[in-house]
């Protein structure tokens, strides 16, 4: 067992956990943040993607202990107080979700992507989303949403 000190969505937490606890289980079971989904549990599908110190990672393949003294943002950390994050807004406007299971991971991957590469074309977006699978195969509208969000991000808001 170990004492974990972690900041999640801006809030500090201290918890006693087993060393082998995976970050995704800590988020879901200890903190009740079930927006982070477990899809494949083999680091392929990306449904469990969260930001760890600002970078998108697959939380099924990170031990919570590796995130000791680190900062994590989950989907619950976006769109506070009823206002959607611009990427969330773009997903809604472009109907970029069907069943919604992959959506939290898709949005976090998109946020990370737009931070790293503000100028994106559709091919680049598709290549960058290769670690996030949508079993509804709704990729077309997801790409539309990410493209729109990236564009809105580089244009000065009116």
In whole angstroms, what is the distance from residue 61 CA to residue 72 CA?
14
Candidates 112, 134, 146, 150; binder of another protein (CB under 8 A) is 112
Q: Do β-strands 11-17 and 55-58 pair in parallel, antiparallel, or remain unpaired? A: unpaired
Phi and psi angles of residue 22, each rounded to the nearest 5 degrees, phi first: -80, 150
- CB burial of residue 134 (10 Å; 0-12, 13-18, 19+): buried
Query: How is residue 120 annotated by DSSP?
Result: -
Query: Nearest approach, Cβ of 32 to another protein (angstroms)?
Result: 19
Q: What is d(CA 150, CA 51) in angstroms, rounded to the nearest whole number?
A: 18
- Residue 67 binding another protein, by CB under 8 A: no
What is the DSSP track for 28-72? IIIS--TTS--SSSSSSS-TTEEEETTEEEEGGGSBGGGGTT-EE
Does the protein bind another protein through residue 63 (CB under 8 A)?
yes
The minimum distance between CB 68 and another protein, in angstroms, equals 7
Q: Which stretch binds another protein (CB under 8 A): 6-14, 28-36, 110-118, 136-144?
A: 110-118
Nearest CB to another protein, comparing residues 90 and 114: 114
Stretch of 6-14, 123-131, 135-143, 145-153 contacting another protein, by CB under 8 A: 123-131
Q: Which is nearer to another protein, 93 or 139 (CB)?
A: 139
Contact letters for another protein, residues 124-143 (x by CB under 8 A): ----x-xxx-----------
Binding site for another protein (CB under 8 A): 2, 18-20, 22, 25, 41-43, 46, 49, 52, 55-58, 61-63, 65-66, 68, 109, 112-113, 116, 128, 130-132
């Amino acid at each position: 067992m170990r004492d974990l000190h972690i900041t999640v969505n801006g809030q500090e937490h201290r918890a006693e956990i087993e060393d082998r606890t995976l970050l995704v289980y800590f988020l879901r079971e200890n903190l009740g943040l079930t927006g982070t989904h477990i899809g494949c549990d083999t680091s392929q599908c990306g449904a469990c993607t969260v930001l760890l110190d600002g970078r998108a990672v697959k939380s099924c393949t990170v031990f919570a202990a590796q995130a000791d003294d680190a900062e994590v943002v989950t989907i619950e950390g976006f769109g506070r107080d009823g206002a959607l994050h611009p990427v969330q807004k773009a997903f809604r406007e472009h109907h970029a979700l069907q069943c919604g299971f992959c959506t939290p991971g898709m949005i976090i991957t998109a946020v990370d992507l737009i931070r790293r590469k503000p100028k994106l074309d559709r091919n680049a977006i598709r290549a960058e989303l290769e670690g996030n699978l949508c079993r509804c195969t709704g990729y077309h509208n997801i790409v539309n949403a990410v493209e729109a969000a990236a564009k809105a991000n580089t244009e000065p808001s009116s």
